[in-house]
A and B are shown apart, each in its own frame.
Chain A
Amino acid sequence: EADIYQTPRYLVIGTGKKITLECSQTMGHDKMYWYQQDPGMELHLIHYSYGVNSTEKGDLSSESTVSRIRTEHFPLTLESARPSHTSQYLCASRGVGTSGVQETQYFGPGTRLLVL
């Protein structure tokens, strides 16, 4: 499996606060992704990146923004958190994992966000 990290793992925050969810990977993968997942539900792509300075919106509209200044880092920012943003956010990267298999997305552990 690829080494992909997300911090924080859990975050409880009040409405109106600005938050940044961190995602980093040490495998040099070019493509990275952010998914949003409500409990017991499927994943929805909200952002992705082909590489440095590339960011695209995914299938699900999101008020969050992302940046890709470095290959290994793909943070997601919410300028003003709201209760509707409560969800799990999963980061993934695509590349060759330790199994040697390409064309596979490897996921981080996720950040569970609760906005009060």
Chain B
Amino acid sequence: AQTVTQSQPEMSVQEAETVTLSCTYDTSENNYYLFWYKQPPSRQMILVIRQEAYKQQNATENRFSVNFQKAAKSFSLKISDSQLGDTAMYFCAFMKPYAGNMLTFGGGTRLMVKP
């Protein structure tokens, strides 16, 4: 079974600064997908970024980028130029590309962006 661990329950950052959220996972699979989802106070889950394990290049999506270290089973999210609207819970998630494509979520990191 897969496990996903987010070791930072809460973080805060000043507006316009950069913050990095940590995520580690444990799996015996070689091919899989990793995701970061954002859940603002509205509580809707919004996909932020995804990474395929077979790709060595780190995914980027505007101000969001990841540092994917496959050997270390680490998948951190970097948010640059933080904005007030980035305030949310952030969940790291793991998915195998078969067996129902189910997601395994980490416990979440609550990020507060301060003005």
Contact = CB atoms under 8 A, between A and B. Distances in A.
A110 B102 contact: no
A85 interface: no
A50 B95 contact: no
A60 B37 CA distance: 20
B110 A43 contact: no
A94 B93 CA distance: 14
Interface size class of A (residues with CB under 8 A): 20 to 34
B56 to A, nearest CB: 18
B25 interface: no
Interface residues of B, number: 24
Contact of B107 (A42, A50, A94, A106): A42
B108 A41 contact: yes
A79 interface: no
Contacts, number: 65
A103 B47 contact: no
Interface in A73-105: 88, 90, 92, 94, 101, 103-105
Interface in A49-83: 50, 56, 58-59
B89 A40 contact: yes
7 contacts: A31-B100, A41-B108, A90-B45, A94-B101, A107-B37, A110-B45, A112-B43
Interface of A: 1, 31, 33, 37, 40-45, 48, 50, 56, 58-59, 88, 90, 92, 94, 101, 103-110, 112
